[in-house]
Structure 1
Amino acid sequence: MPLVNTVEMFKKAYEGGYAIGAFNVNNMEIVQGITEACQELKSPVILQVSGGARKYANHTYLTKLVEAAVIETDVPIALHLDHGNSFELCKSCIDGGFTSVMIDGSHLSFEENVALAKQVADYAHQFNVTVEAELGRLAGIEDAVNVSAEDASYTNPAEVQEFVERTGVDSLAIAIGTSHGAYKFKPGQKPQLRFDILEEVARRLPGFPIVLHGASSVVPEFVEMINKFGGQMPDAIGIPEDMLRQAAKMAVCKINVDSDLRLAMTATIRKYLAENPSHFDPRQYLAPARTAIKDMVAHKINTVMGSAGKA
């Protein structure tokens, strides 16, 4: 099965009351762990690459790793640019084989965001590539995204219909209380998603796929493991998975997960090297890290996305 865009994925997800997991990839082990879980659970998947990951691993290496995953599996896979910050970056990914791109103009004025998103959508649609844009700004830090709590803002539902109609984008990321990175909420602070905003957006955009960024749950097990084996991570609270599952039953068709994968991989490597200090073969510590990625993705598919058996 060749790489696909997100049109059919999202149509089925919206009608079926589930979401597609969009998992960030940086190297071979992460690609393998994600796709092995999806293959076993028969779940469609979005493999997404940030601008930072593309610089780190090289566009060609990443696309060839994803092509290998397509050969080794028979589930629908979309290759997506996460948080593209310019038309030029989106164009480069479209020209280089990506089947979906995100243009993030959320830091711009409404009119500037519209103009940039339309420019990307007009170009992408010539090549059957789908486009995601963003309204509202999530707080947090992750890769090139760095938004303070003061600069964060919820999505204004009154703007979404005009934005989608004028830009022609295929999906819309909204801000309803999620946050990028591992440090989403302080201890004692209660996470709460604004389902009222999501409901109003869905009312104004019936049948239109909505996206949630910053949706890692920051599994305490891995934070504790990192700290036990030499880390200094403070207590962190993520988004409760039952809230994310509720969003997936509504209009949310794509849920992004990155920090939970990083935590699982790093914690597993730290533990292995602490317990086996004489080992120096990367395969010895990357193999259990790959398994940790696979287990995390399987957990997200079963607990959050609801996409098992939907391939």
Structure 2
Amino acid sequence: MPLVSSKEMFKKAYGKYAIGAFNVNNMEILQGVIEAAKEEKAPLILQISAGARKYAKQVYLMKLIEAAVEDAPDVPVCVHLDHGDSFELCKTVIDAGFTSVMIDGSHLPFEENVKLTKQVVDYAHPRGVVVEGELGRLVGVEEHVVVSEKEASYTDPDKAVEFVERTGVDSLAIAIGTSHGAYKFKGEPKLDFERLHEIAKRLPNFPLVLHGASSVLQEFVQKANQYGGKLSGAQGVPEDMIRKATTMGVCKVNIDTDLRLAVTATIREIFALHPEEFDPRKYLGPAREAVKKLVKHKMRNVLGCSGQA
């Protein structure tokens, strides 16, 4: 099956489940994610960030994804640019074969965000590529995206409607209380479901996106800390909150931190228990398996997208 856009995925998912958008940085993470999707018979969005492009080079990642698609012919796969920060970058990846892009103008004044987003839409749509915009700012750190608590802002429902109408975007990333990174909440986790309900009501059947949606599973935090890590206080979005959001118009859920934690905790354990080991396959292989197990759990028990391929 060739690469697809997320348009039909979202149409089918709306109000019932969400598609997992998993960030990939290397072969082992990609293999773990694609194997999970094969076994769960679930549609899949593979995200490539600016950091991933810098670390692995886009050409390597796209060739790996090409191999993954060949290896999983029955899995609908969309390749998405995560947090594109310029028209030039979006144009580059569209021309390189990406089927979806995010243009993140959330740091700009509203009118500038509209202008930039529409520019990307006008280039993407004639080429069959879908566009995700963002309105509102999530606190936290995700590679080159750094937002302080003072700079963070929730999505205004009125502005969301205007933004979608004026830009023509295909989906919208909203801010309702999630955040990037492993430290999402200082106190009790809370999402603004009233705001989500209001946005979904004003934008009926329009796909919404939840960034910063890793749950920071404590089994990985504890394992990492047990074997030398320092992740005190790491806390994510409870999985029942994610599941609730998928019934309220959220069609795409971004997951990156959870993958990193699964890899790191597994490798730390192997290094601690087997200090004599130096074969990368002996620790990257189990890390890949941990990613696969995690993604299968997300697809089946949190996102509800198993069996929807």
Fold in common (TM above 0.5) = yes
- Which residue pairs with 1:105 in the alignment? 105
- Which residue pairs with 1:90 in the alignment? 90
* Structure 2 residue matching 1:35: 3-state secondary structure: helix
TM-score by length of 1: 0.98
Task: Find the partner of 2:238 among 232, 237, 240.
Answer: 240
- Which residue pairs with 1:139 in the alignment? 139
Give, as a single letter, the amino acid of the residue that structure 2 aligns with 1:303.
Answer: N
Percent of aligned positions that are identical? 66
* Structure 1 residue matching 2:39: 3-state secondary structure: helix
Deviation at 1:237, TM superposition (A): 1.5
* Structure 2 residue matching 1:152: 3-state secondary structure: coil
- Which residue pairs with 2:27 in the alignment? 28
- Which residue pairs with 2:227 in the alignment? 229
Equivalences for residues 94-243 of structure 1 within 5 A: 94-186=94-186, 189-243=187-241
Equivalences for residues 8-19 of structure 1 within 5 A: 8-14=8-14, 17-19=16-18
* Structure 1 residue matching 2:14: 3-state secondary structure: helix
Give, as a single letter, the amino acid of the residue that structure 2 aligns with 1:250.
Answer: M
Give the superposed CA RMSD.
0.7
Deviation at 1:233, TM superposition (A): 1.4
TM-score by length of 2: 0.99
Give, as a single letter, the amino acid of the residue that structure 1 aligns with 2:91.
Answer: K
* Structure 2 residue matching 1:134: 3-state secondary structure: strand
Give, as a single letter, the amino acid of the residue that structure 2 aligns with 1:61.
Answer: Y
Give, as a single letter, the amino acid of the residue that structure 2 aligns with 1:201.
Answer: I
Deviation at 1:214, TM superposition (A): 0.1
- Which residue pairs with 2:62 in the alignment? 63
Give, as a single letter, the amino acid of the residue that structure 1 aligns with 2:291.
Answer: I
Alpha-carbon distance in 1 for matches of 2:140, 2:300: 26
- Which residue pairs with 1:40 in the alignment? 39
* Structure 1 residue matching 2:252: 3-state secondary structure: strand
Give, as a single letter, the amino acid of the residue that structure 1 aligns with 2:134.
Answer: E
- Which residue pairs with 1:297 in the alignment? 295
Q: What CA deviation, in whole Å up to 9, does each residue of 1:279-304 have, x standing for no partner?
A: 11111100000000001101111121
Deviation at 1:234, TM superposition (A): 1.4
Which has the larger displacement, 103-112 or 221-230? 221-230
Deviation at 1:211, TM superposition (A): 0.1
- Which residue pairs with 2:280 in the alignment? 282
Alpha-carbon distance in 1 for matches of 2:253, 2:220: 21
Deviation at 1:252, TM superposition (A): 0.3
Alpha-carbon distance in 2 for matches of 1:68, 1:168: 33
Deviation at 1:185, TM superposition (A): 1.3
Mark the runs of 5 or more structure 1 residues left unpaired by the alignment: none
Give, as a single letter, the amino acid of the residue that structure 1 aligns with 2:224.
Answer: I
- Which residue pairs with 2:76 in the alignment? 76
Q: What CA deviation, in whole Å up to 9, does each residue of 1:222-251 have, x standing for no partner?
A: 111111111111121211100100000110
Alpha-carbon distance in 2 for matches of 1:207, 1:232: 42
- Number of residues paired by the alignment? 308
Alpha-carbon distance in 1 for matches of 2:37, 2:218: 24
Alpha-carbon distance in 2 for matches of 1:242, 1:227: 25
Deviation at 1:197, TM superposition (A): 0.8
